[in-house]
A and B are shown apart, each in its own frame.
Chain A
Amino acid sequence: MPLRKKMEPKTVNNNFKSEEYFINMGPQHPATHGVLRLLLTIDGEIIKKVEPDLGYIHRSIEKMCERDSYQQIVHLTDRMDYLSSHINNEAVCLTVENALQLEVPERVKVIRTIIGELTRIASHCLWWGVMGMDVGALTTYFYGFRDREMINDIFEETCGARLTMNYNIPGGVMYDIHPNFIQRTKDFVKHFKTKIPEYDRLLTGNVIFQKRMKGVGILSKEDAISFGASGPVGRGSGYSCDVRKHHPYSALDKVTFNESLKTAGDSLARYEVRIMEMWESLSIIEQLIDNIPEGDYKVATNAVIKLPKGEYYQKVETARGELGVYMVSTGTKNPYRVKFRSPGLSNISLLNHIAVGGKIGDLVATMATLDIVVPDIDR
């Protein structure tokens, strides 16, 4: 819909109170983390209505998938939620493998899980840095990036890329892990265990931060379920929705970890859930890193993969929540239809619900705890 048409009916609305005014937050605004546009109706400082306007970075990934082969689709998913690109790749690979009833080696499963958890930590590090920046503590950004950099270095050595990793392929992973991988991951785990308490000292315990977060942006468990919230947003409201726990995939059934749950449902709860998740991811990595089974790093597939006719669905837990991949195959080398159920889209849909009544500062802080990645919303 053209911009102008959308705006006009609201300015001539008879119910429009004289004190209220519109403000256009984005698409180029530092707090929207990308090209998200928010139409705010504000009374002074108080938010009356938030309307997210999406589509500024829509690249028709789902349509492009219909054109591409199954190996190529994997690479497109990097560009959705670029902060958990490995897990996105894994979701597509698992779907294809399930459809082909392909049993991948144990080694692949363990490698995928370790790198997936490292990705989750890297994503949460970035989120933590940006979260601090959104509430005005600029220093956190650099601390988060310091630790994320170590993970990126590990990825660079093994996968050859730092952000869009393309490490998974249907049937396994592209290369075997680098000889340094195990040692560097262990070093990182040791390093990061001393750094999460530092995060707490710098930001979590700060009285201003607590005041900004506690009791702000409250989302009840019922609303979380009805809005389809997933990931830390849902778990912050006490909604047990960890796909890793309920529908384990790869090597996640072999490890023991706790689902991070908080019942308060406010911004602080969502924040704490992510900090707890970093600890849990560290424990998962620790359980797996010492016993990566020997064996092949992939099984051979046909050069042209053709899925049997039918519908396939696989969900995984990305750093932001539940990513579902739904594929319809007619037996050709391309899928007939691919649909991604992205966590970002359902999480942004509840922004209006939890931000109304707060101040502009609250909106920014609440949006930061939703941890939105705009290319994941728009695809």
Chain B
Amino acid sequence: MNISLSITKTIHEWLFSIMSETAASITEMILIATVYLAVFAVFGLYLVLLERKVAAWFQLRLGPNRVGFKGLFQTMADALKLVSKELTGTVKADKFLYNLAPYFVIVSALMALAVFPFTQEFQAFDINIGIFFLIAISSIGVIGILMGGWASNNKFALIGAMRSGVQTISYELSVGLSLLTMVLITGSLQLSEIVEVQKSGWLIIQGHIPAIIAFMVYMIAGTAETNRAPFDMVEAESELGAGFHTEYSGMKFAYFFLAEFINMFIIAAIATTIFFGAWLSPFGITESIPWLGVFWFLGKTLVIVFLMMWFRWTFPRLRVDQLLTLEWKYLLPINLVNIVIMAFVVWQNLIIQL
């Protein structure tokens, strides 16, 4: 199997030295899953805090600043509150689907995290179809949204879910095609190899014009994928109240909420990996201090996350038909032409190698 699980070499070798291969693999999987779950649940909470602080900054406010030092524990307190809340539901809801929906959303969000190369040694799941895996996993989430909206027995939730289905299916094409454009340079879908290629310059520099176009298309489509403003048709609080999660409360709502922020992180992390050299430092000192890679990866990702927050807090929302017009009449043709341009660039070897 081409699956190598290694959080760090030392733990990996130590585990395999003290028990049988099967037991060690299982232990390692559970260990990695627990660590990822714990780290990213907390990370998601801090993304919520970051969003609130960024929003406050855009909106002439202070943002949360009471719980903990400068409000650092605000979202923790919110999560605690949500855990302790009653789980309410509608009378004629389809109970099975209603309860299942939040798990679809959160599980698909967390699964996608497995393949990111945070640094050279720190990649849980380095498969040879990494990008394909990411695209495939991120499209499972929409099933959860559709299920939640359908099972809630609420028309507003249903409209939100219908919009979500339409939107995610449309914009997945652009996400996939813009990533495919970049794969033309790397010649591999494996994320570790994509990073390896970028040691001679980030792909956005190597691929110059078509890469920049692909990045722009990716950012638009990626923002739409995560159902965030200006593409937040799914929630559209001034139109639908809260959209598909109108009838969810307590922890089930929290799963939807957390998944939205983890999805935002995933979209930014894909952009970092494909366009901006993942854990590679811009000054070439990563090789000597390997753990610095995590810093670079998160740094670049958070810059893109900030960009997405910037979109959200300054743009008005599109209308549902304009949303589809943008995708099918503009982004998709641009993308297809862009792939041809990129193919030409690769064929004529016009790639800029540093």
Question: Which A residues lie at the B interface, using CB under 8 A?
Answer: 21, 23, 29-31, 45, 132-139, 141-143, 146, 202-203, 206, 208-209, 211-212, 359-362, 364
CB of A136 within 8 A of CB of B236, answer yes
**Across the interface, which residues of A come within 8 angstroms of B320, CB to CB?**
45, 359-361
CB of B230 within 8 A of CB of A208, answer yes
CB of A138 within 8 A of CB of B239, answer no
**6 pairs of A and B residues whose beta carbons are closest in the complex:** A136-B317, A142-B59, A137-B316, A135-B316, A361-B319, A134-B238
**Across the interface, which residues of A come within 8 angstroms of B59, CB to CB?**
138-139, 141-143
Question: Which residue of B has the minimal Cβ distance to A213?
Answer: B316
CB of A30 within 8 A of CB of B237, answer yes
Enumerate B9-41 residues with CB–CB distance to A below 8 Å: none
Q: How far is the CA of A203 from the CA of B320 in the complex (A)?
A: 19
**Across the interface, which residues of B come within 8 angstroms of A364, CB to CB?**
238-239
Task: List, sorted by A's number, 27 A–B pairs whose CB atoms are closer than 8 Å.
Answer: A21-B155, A30-B238, A45-B320, A45-B321, A136-B230, A136-B316, A137-B314, A137-B315, A138-B59, A139-B55, A141-B59, A142-B60, A143-B60, A202-B314, A206-B315, A208-B317, A209-B316, A211-B318, A211-B319, A212-B316, A212-B317, A359-B321, A360-B159, A360-B239, A361-B236, A361-B319, A361-B320
**Across the interface, which residues of B come within 8 angstroms of A143, CB to CB?**
59-60
**Across the interface, which residues of B come within 8 angstroms of A362, CB to CB?**
319
Q: How far is the CA of A228 from the CA of B60 in the complex (A)?
A: 39
CB of A136 within 8 A of CB of B232, answer yes
Q: A31-B238, A136-B238, A206-B316 are in contact. Are A142 and B321 (CB under 8 A)?
A: no
Select which of A132, A142, A360 is within 8 A of B316 by beta carbon.
A132
Most central of B55, B155, B236, B238 by chain A CB within 10 Å? B238
**Across the interface, which residues of A come within 8 angstroms of B85, CB to CB?**
none
**Across the interface, which residues of B come within 8 angstroms of A206, CB to CB?**
315-316
Question: Which B residues lie at the A interface, using CB under 8 A?
Answer: 55, 58-61, 155-156, 159, 163, 229-230, 232, 236-241, 313-322
**Across the interface, which residues of B come within 8 angstroms of A209, CB to CB?**
316
Question: Which residue of B has the minimal Cβ distance to A28?
Answer: B241
Question: Which residue of B has the minimal Cβ distance to A22?
Answer: B155
Q: A45-B320, A146-B60, A359-B321 are in contact. Are A139 and B155 (CB under 8 A)?
A: no
Main secondary structure of the interface of A (DSSP, over half): helix
CB of A208 within 8 A of CB of B315, answer yes
| B158, chain A: closest CB distance, angstroms | 9
Question: Which residue of A has the minimal Cβ distance to B317?
Answer: A136
Select which of B156, B237, B239, B315 is within 8 A of A361 by beta carbon.
B239
Question: Which residue of B has the minimal Cβ distance to A210?
Answer: B316
| B242, chain A: closest CB distance, angstroms | 9
**Across the interface, which residues of A come within 8 angstroms of B155, CB to CB?**
21, 23
Q: How far is the CA of A206 from the CA of B322 in the complex (A)?
A: 15
Q: A136-B229, A142-B59 are in contact. Are A359 and B316 (CB under 8 A)?
A: no
| A54, chain B: closest CB distance, angstroms | 21
CB of B316 within 8 A of CB of A31, answer no
Select which of A134, A139, A211, A360 is within 8 A of B313 by beta carbon.
A139
**Across the interface, which residues of A come within 8 angstroms of B317, CB to CB?**
135-137, 208, 212, 361
Q: How far is the CA of A196 from the CA of B321 in the complex (A)?
A: 31
Q: How far is the CA of A211 from the CA of B2 in the complex (A)?
A: 50
**Across the interface, which residues of B come within 8 angstroms of A21, CB to CB?**
155
**Across the interface, which residues of A come within 8 angstroms of B314, CB to CB?**
137, 139, 202
**Across the interface, which residues of B come within 8 angstroms of A361, CB to CB?**
236, 239, 317, 319-320
CB of A208 within 8 A of CB of B318, answer yes
**Across the interface, which residues of B come within 8 angstroms of A29, CB to CB?**
241
| A150, chain B: closest CB distance, angstroms | 13
Q: How far is the CA of A23 from the CA of B238 in the complex (A)?
A: 15
Extra 5 A-B pairs, beta carbons < 8 Å, given A132-B316, A137-B315: A136-B236, A139-B314, A202-B314, A209-B316, A211-B322
| A162, chain B: closest CB distance, angstroms | 19
Q: How far is the CA of A244 from the CA of B321 in the complex (A)?
A: 41
Q: How far is the CA of A133 from the CA of B106 in the complex (A)?
A: 29
Q: How far is the CA of A202 from the CA of B316 in the complex (A)?
A: 10
Q: How far is the CA of A143 from the CA of B60 in the complex (A)?
A: 8
**Across the interface, which residues of B come within 8 angstroms of A138, CB to CB?**
55, 59, 229, 313
CB of B58 within 8 A of CB of A139, answer yes
CB of B61 within 8 A of CB of A142, answer yes
Q: How far is the CA of A217 from the CA of B59 in the complex (A)?
A: 30
CB of B60 within 8 A of CB of A45, answer no
Question: Which residue of B has the minimal Cβ distance to A367?
Answer: B238
Q: How far is the CA of A357 from the CA of B155 in the complex (A)?
A: 19
Most central of A206, A360, A361 by chain B CB within 10 Å? A361
**Across the interface, which residues of A come within 8 angstroms of B58, CB to CB?**
139
Q: How far is the CA of A135 from the CA of B322 in the complex (A)?
A: 13
Q: How far is the CA of A182 from the CA of B354 in the complex (A)?
A: 65
Question: Which residue of B has the minimal Cβ distance to A40?
Answer: B155
Q: How far is the CA of A364 from the CA of B60 in the complex (A)?
A: 26
Most central of A31, A132, A138 by chain B CB within 10 Å? A138
Q: How far is the CA of A360 from the CA of B229 in the complex (A)?
A: 17
Q: How far is the CA of A268 from the CA of B156 in the complex (A)?
A: 27
Q: How far is the CA of A29 from the CA of B156 in the complex (A)?
A: 11
Question: Which residue of A has the minimal Cβ distance to B156?
Answer: A23
Question: Which residue of B has the minimal Cβ distance to A21?
Answer: B155
Question: Which residue of A has the minimal Cβ distance to B58?
Answer: A139
**Across the interface, which residues of B come within 8 angstroms of A141, CB to CB?**
59
**Across the interface, which residues of A come within 8 angstroms of B318, CB to CB?**
208, 211-212
Most central of A45, A141, A146 by chain B CB within 10 Å? A45
Q: How far is the CA of A137 from the CA of B318 in the complex (A)?
A: 10
Most central of B59, B313, B319 by chain A CB within 10 Å? B319
Q: A206-B315, A359-B321, A361-B319 are in contact. Are A31 and B239 (CB under 8 A)?
A: yes
Select which of A133, A139, A359 is within 8 A of B238 by beta carbon.
A133
Question: Which residue of A has the minimal Cβ distance to B325?
Answer: A211
| B53, chain A: closest CB distance, angstroms | 14
Q: A138-B59, A139-B58, A360-B159 are in contact. Are A208 and B239 (CB under 8 A)?
A: no
CB of A30 within 8 A of CB of B232, answer no
Q: How far is the CA of A45 from the CA of B322 in the complex (A)?
A: 13
| B352, chain A: closest CB distance, angstroms | 32
Question: Which residue of A has the minimal Cβ distance to B60?
Answer: A142
**Across the interface, which residues of A come within 8 angstroms of B229, CB to CB?**
136, 138
Q: How far is the CA of A206 from the CA of B55 in the complex (A)?
A: 19
**Across the interface, which residues of B come within 8 angstroms of A133, CB to CB?**
238
| A215, chain B: closest CB distance, angstroms | 12
**Across the interface, which residues of A come within 8 angstroms of B61, CB to CB?**
142
| A145, chain B: closest CB distance, angstroms | 9
**Across the interface, which residues of A come within 8 angstroms of B237, CB to CB?**
30
